[in-house]
Amino acid sequence: MELGEKSGANVAFMWALQKNGAVSLSIRTNGVPDASAVAGHLCKTAGATGGGHKDAAAVHFASLADFMKHVKIAPPPQSPKIRPEPPSPS
């Protein structure tokens, strides 16, 4: 939640690939926004299952492909390119 508070989103998401191929998305908030409302929206729009409480909820997707179709994940920030040092003159 600390990063969510810093960004102003007040919400944190964590996803995990289960052994059976399903994906569980965990939602945590400080109550605003309502985590169960976020889960309900995802269930309704993505055809997933789940639910929860005001500050904690989860959504379950049938597969990784289904999860990726509905939840867009930004790539990690690019690290600066490190140029190799030129060879030393002999």
- Predicted TM-score of the model (pTM): 0.73
For the chain, list the domains and their CATH numbers. 2-70 (3.10.310.40)
Considering only CA atoms, which of 33, 10, 71, 14 is closest in space to residue 2?
10
90 residues of the chain, pLDDT tens digit each: 455 556 677 888 999 999 999 999 999 998 889 999 999 999 999 999 999 999 999 999 999 999 999 888 777 666 666 666 677 776
